[in-house]
Amino acid sequence: MIDDNIQTRLTQRQALFYFGRVMKEARGLGWLIGLCLLGSLLEAGVEVRLPQVMASGIDQFMVSRAPEGVRMQGLMQLGAVYLALVLLASVLGFALAMGFNQVGQRVVERLRNHLFAHLHHLPIGYFDGNPVGRLVTRVANDTGTLSDFFTGVVANLLCDLLKLLVLLGALFWASPSLTLSVLVLAPPALLASVAFQRANTRVNRDIRRLLAQLNAFIQENLQGLATLKSFTAEGKMQAEFDRQNREYLGVEMRLVYLYMLFRPLFGTISMISLAIILWVGGGQVSRGQMSLGTLVMFVFYLKMLFAPLDDLAERFNVLQSAAVAAERLFLILDAEPEPQSGVELSTCKGRIEFKGVHFAYDPQKPVLQGISFVLEPGQKLALVGATGSGKTTVTALLQRLYPLQQGEILLDGQDIRSIQVDSLRRQFGIIQQELFLFRASLRHNVTLYRQVSEESLREALRVSRASRVVEAHPEGLERKLGERGNQLSQGERQLVSFARALVDDPPVLIMDEATASIDSLTEEAIQEALTEVLQGRTAILVAHRLSTIQSCDQILLLEHGKIIERGTHRELMELDGAYANLVRHQLEKA
Amino acid sequence: MKSRGLKALFGYLWNYRWQTGLGVLGLLLADCAQLGIPFLSQRVIDNLREGPDRLIIALIVVLAFVAYAARCLWRYCLFGVARRCDIEIRRQIYHRAIHLDLNYHSQSSIGHMMALATSDVAAVRMALAFALMSAFDAVIYSVLSISALLSIDTRLALITLLPFPLLGILMRYLLKWNYQTWDRVQQNFDELTEKARESISGMRVLRTLVQDEGDAAEFRRLTAEQYRRFMTFVKVDGVYSPTILFLSGISSALLLAVGGQHVVDGQLSVGEFAAFASFLGQLSWPMVAAGWTLSLVQRATASMDRILTLLDEVPEPVQPFLEGGFSGGLEIRDLTFSYPGGVKPALRQLSARVEPGGSLGLVGEVGSGKSTLTRLLQRLYNPPQGSIFLDGRDVLEINLEQLRQQFAWVEQESFLFSATIAENLRLGGAREGLEEAARMADLHQEVLSFPDGYETLLGERGVTLSGGQRQRLCLARALLKPAPVLLLDDTLSAVDADTEQRILKALSELRGRQTLLIISHRVSSVRDCDEILVLEEGAVVQRGRHQELLAQDGLYKRLYELQTQ
């Protein structure tokens, strides 16, 4: 299971390891990365050069004793040089943004595609342990965090560090002593930045938590508004909302205080540094140890020196969360996919045999215990039993949705483990109990991504009686369904799922009947469809309706994963055991 | 300005006028301190012959601390005000939303309401915090620094300031494009997220029908689009800082060429030249801020307008409480009702009468209008005048809260809150009798089997109940409400046959004490009612007792036969 709370900080070694793996996704982009790095170096050089141009303007022309005409001329030229450098820096800045983002976005695109394709090949059991929301966050958001990593960190952090290095070099070269005296304040500034980021992360975590809670509260109240009004609970809920809202204000104010104390710090530190420059540097100028231009240059450099320090801690934070995101992604990518090897099966005859099949999702709780049966081509099998007796598991194992643990399942006499898994699944038309429809047109819901001729589509719709659903709306097959097809009734969804399973004309039909109540008139249509659909096909039915069960060649009654009675409806009624009891109950309820 | 939203924004600020005023004062002080520094350093630089002036340098250090204090002050005041306004607006949205009737909510969506409470509130807060601050700051700062520049060297100031208005205008457009392109990125991102969510939710279907390649191709199309849109965004976003750099660079180059010549001429000292450069260097921020402020305020105004359309909705007037209790006699006279925006009426000319303690059953197919009646009785939607009477009084004349206290309702789609079982049971305010009600709904034993019993948390962070358990919990919740009328709307559809019989038997004890309205598509649930109405497309097609209806050749008999095979 991938947990959100595994770790929030990784060691540097782990982080480097994951970044290495992320960088592997940048295959073929090495030249672009190299170009960007070169560009960053150039940009740093240019930006550091700018105040030097100013300084030489002061020293060579403003305070020099050269003839006035030469000085004027020189200043014009320097102005032009300055402008050219600024233009170069701007163009480089834009090009670098494009370059780094291109790398970042390509990597994110590739990672997303990988991850999504990989999910399609993970065993179905993986999805039982990992909630949908969490996996979606991995695919959409965590990959996004990695793109922040490229743009925010690789690009900016690298550029900042380069700039800082070049800058420090230039400063030392101009005046080592003055540089050292300015840097006296750098360590406390850095420390403050780190402390601020730590506290900031904590407060922001609380804010996110409380805000999510508050929003969930509002949303739930709106969803249950009718209930709430019927119980005249508005006042009670308002009081609860106000309490949560005030609590939220409490953390928000913590953030305000935090920013209030820390953010103005850098401005103040930089002002004090200015005072140091003027005092130490001014003394040197007055003693003739340093030129006036150099002093002014130091003043100009101040801003460049402290701005990156201000951001440094935040950048490292992004780095951390990117490493955590990367780890989560690789946890998924490293999960073992379903084996793809095996013999390709074309169309089977439909003889199904279970030999002593045992199965457990959790070793402590066996679900199937020694299931054996033979189903000849064209025969129908009904699985009957209480919820949790293992009926659905039988059908899932047949499709190899879970690996077989003990026993054998044969299709046309061939062990299903030796059959290529996709070609095995193409043999079955499946109607699940939970009818899942997609937010797309009716047509897409029936055909999905399969190439289906108009003719076979019509035929599938006719046989399944789903044409009723198509005709019920003027837009017909092009009618767009909402989330999970929610504007269709349960019965209508059932008919559409029928059509979806039949489009390929599969030799074997597996159906898990819906337990939820379907209104009686639609139910008639379903029964009609079922009769026609089952004609000539091998079928396994997890059945709840008596009429479905009665027409089957073989009925297995399951209890706690064991077959306790088997036979035809007539035989079992004569036996007058558990099955007969069940049937009587069914009638009573109706 | 044209919008009411802007006025409302200022209205919220007005509530905190003292704090806001104090914040602006802090801003002014901080800016003065900031702008004083170049003047002071100019003094030092120009008078270096006798060594650095210690007094002035000390003054710089003092100013640094003054600036710190002033900045703390305005941050606390202005950002604090923004946060307070934020929770106040959210509170108003929530309070108004839950007091509006379902008529309003059925025409709006939860998504829309949530957007109001989240992104619109956030937009308003951003504007109140940053836009307010940067607007004041930009004005104070540019006025002060431009006047400083003009006072040092008027001609030079005019020349070097040339690029700045351009910067302001450009920022404004860049930010607009920036938002537009980002919106497009976000739209595609939402699609991508939704696609991932749907595919993962429907993984079993896709897996069993072997649709992985088609589905992955569809996803790849979305990620490729994401790449394209993001790079378009980067094109706009990436222009941003280079533009600032370039335009303020032009100004610096002008300063170097022209200002340098003024130094040569002797009109300007080197210290003044450095001070000039400092002022210019800091002037690009207010210009950027101006553009930023405008777009923030524009977005916030639009958000505030949307919020106001909700706050403008007036809840129904409160009628006075009536003296004396109700006994639960119902009369429905020729009731025809259509939902707002509905094409066909949900109910047509329905008439019925139930004596206090009597029972009425409603059967019909899905969509025949059965559930509508329960909503009209409680005025979750208002019925037409003179159509529904409780104890002979038109429900429209009864105080809403008092009216709803007369009904205990179990909905078809049972809604439970993410709270403990006990809290859900106590929704109506009941403190006692929890266990008894749970016993009656055949739930007590199951509740005890949960690790925390009645204190078990339900919902995403807690236990997930089965459909049948949910229904029985809702039933128990309704039984706890001391109301003369019990409304059961397809309440036992997910409960198995044995349990259903036990519950129905338990409920029959209430007979004569509570008026009972049972709605179901199952004949078995209503067979014992005093009168049964059979509905088809909102109209009563048959009425009578169970045996009478079975004797007729009609929908009731057909349903009965279908359901008993």
| Range from A354-363, A438-447, B50-59, B106-115 carrying the lowest mean pLDDT | B106-115
- Residue A314 pLDDT > 80: no
Q: Which residue of A has its CA nearest to B414?
A: A227
Interatomic CA distance for residues A523 and B227, integer angstroms? 48
3-state percent breakdown (helix, strand, coil) of chain B, nearest 5: 65, 10, 25
Give the mean pLDDT of B330-345. 85
Domains A11-171+322-338 and A352-589 fall in the same CATH topology: no
Name residues 478-507 of chain A within 8 A of B (Cβ): 484, 489, 500-501, 504
Q: For residue A416, what pLDDT is reported?
A: 94
pLDDT at A182 over 90: no
Q: What is the pLDDT of residues B250-282, one digit of tens each?
A: 999 999 999 999 988 888 888 899 889 888 888
Of chain A residues 413-452, which have a CB less than 8 A from chain B? 422, 425-426, 428, 430, 432, 436, 438-439, 448-450
Per-residue pLDDT band for A256 (boundaries 50, 70, 90) equals very high
* Separation of alpha carbons B446 and B464, rounded Å: 13
Q: Is A516 on the interface with B (CB under 8 A)?
A: yes
**Average pLDDT value over all residues in chain A:** 86
The yes-or-no verdict on residue A18 having pLDDT over 90 is no
How high is the pLDDT of residue B283? 84
- Report CA torsion sign: B378, B384, B385, B387: negative
Whole-number Å distance between alpha carbons of A187 and A168: 15
Nearest residue on chain A to B207, judged by CA atoms? A120
Domain ranges of chain B: 1-153+292-314, 154-267, 330-563
Torsion sign, CA atoms B93, B98, B102, B105: positive
8 Å CB contact between B526 and B362: yes
Q: How confident is the model over A551-560, as a mean pLDDT?
A: 91
Q: Does A472 touch chain B (CB under 8 A)?
A: no
**Local confidence band at A4 (pLDDT 50, 70, 90 cut-offs):** very low
What confidence tier does A1 reach under pLDDT thresholds 50, 70, 90? very low
Query: What number of other Cβ atoms are within 10 A of residue A93's Cβ?
Result: 24
Q: How far is CA A314 from the centre of its chain?
A: 24
Q: Whose CA is closest to A61, among A76, A80, A75?
A: A75
Give the Cα separation of A48 and A55 in Å (integer).
Answer: 12
Instruction: Look at B238 and A226 and tell me if their CB atoms are within 8 Å.
Output: no
Mean pLDDT across A209-232: 87
**Looking at the domain that runs over A11-171+322-338, which CATH code has it been given?**
1.20.1560.10
The answer to whether residue A340 neighbours chain B at the CB level (below 8 Å) is no
Residues 133-192 of B with CB under 8 A from A: 189, 192
- Please report the pLDDT score of residue A7 as a whole number: 44
pLDDT range class, residue A588, cuts 50, 70, 90: very low
Interface of B with A in 343-382 (CB under 8 A): 365-367, 375, 378, 380
Q: Is the pLDDT of residue B316 over 80?
A: no
Mean pLDDT over residues B460-476, rounded? 79
Cβ contact B114–A132 (<8 Å): no
Top mean pLDDT of A363-367, A481-485, B86-90 is at B86-90
Instruction: Give the pLDDT confidence score for residue A590 in this predicted structure.
Output: 40
Q: Tell me, what's the pLDDT at B1?
A: 45
Is the CB of A296 less than 8 angstroms away from the CB of B378?
no
Interface check for A242 against chain B (CB to CB < 8 A): the answer is yes
Q: Which chain B residues are Cβ-neighbours of A68 within 8 angstroms? A: 264
For B481, the closest chain A residue by CA position comes to A231
Q: How confident is the model at residue B96 (pLDDT cuts 50, 70, 90)?
A: very high
Say yes or no for a CB contact (<8 Å) between B98 and A228: yes
What pLDDT score was predicted for residue B69?
96
pLDDT at B64: 94
First CA to last CA across chain B, in angstroms? 71
What ipTM is given for this predicted complex?
0.84
- For residue A183, pLDDT over 90 is answered with no
Average pLDDT over residues A284-293: 89
Identify the pLDDT of residue A365: 81
Please report the pLDDT score of residue B246 as a whole number.
Answer: 92
CB contact under 8 A, B256 and A286: no
Percent of chain A at pLDDT exceeding 70: 95
Q: Do B87 and A524 touch (CB under 8 A)?
A: no
Interface touch B219/A112, C-beta < 8 Å:
yes
Least confident stretch, A312-316, B226-230, B425-429, B550-554? A312-316
Residue A409: the pLDDT is 96
- Using CB atoms, which residue from B200, B274, B428 is nearest to A231? B428
Cβ burial of A285 (10 Å; 0-12, 13-18, 19+) is buried
Average pLDDT over every residue of A161-168: 87
pLDDT over 50 at A3, yes or no: no
State the average pLDDT over residues B318-340: 87
Mean pLDDT computed over every residue of chain B: 87
Residue A87, pLDDT > 90, answer yes
Question: Per residue in A386-420, pLDDT tens?
Answer: 777 888 899 999 999 999 999 999 999 999 999 99
- What's residue B160's pLDDT? 92
Can you name the CATH fold of A352-589?
Rossmann fold (3.40.50)
Say if CB A151 and CB A100 are below 8 A apart. yes
- Give per-residue pLDDT as tens, B52-67: 888 999 999 999 999 9
- Residue type at B326 in one-letter notation: F
> Do A265 and B68 meet the contact criterion of CB atoms below 8 Å apart?
yes
pLDDT interval class at B2 (50, 70, 90): low
Residue A152 vs residue A438, higher pLDDT:
A438
- Under an 8 A CB cutoff, do B365 and A521 touch? yes
Using alpha carbons only, give the angle A151, A154, A155 rounded to the nearest 5 degrees. Answer: 60
* pLDDT of A242: 95
Confidence band for B445, pLDDT divided at 50, 70 and 90:
confident
pLDDT band at A2; cut points 50, 70, 90: very low
Domain B330-563 in the same topology as domain B1-153+292-314: no
Average pLDDT value for residue range A334-346: 89
Touching A: B residues 450-489, CB under 8 Å: 467, 477, 481
Q: What is the CATH number of domain B330-563?
A: 3.40.50.300
pLDDT at residue A277, rounded to an integer? 92
Helix axes B17-46, B54-74, angle to 10 degrees: 160
Q: Among all residues of chain A, which has the CA nearest to that of B91?
A: A242
Pick the CATH number of B1-153+292-314 from 1.20.140.10, 1.20.1560.10, 3.40.50.720, 1.25.40.10: 1.20.1560.10
* Domains of chain A by residue range: 11-171+322-338, 176-289, 352-589
Query: Distance between CA atoms of B159 and B138, rounded to whole angstroms?
Result: 21
A214 has a pLDDT exceeding 50: yes
Residue B348 DSSP SS3: strand
Average pLDDT for A1-6: 41
Alpha-carbon distance of B26 to B65, in angstroms, equals 13
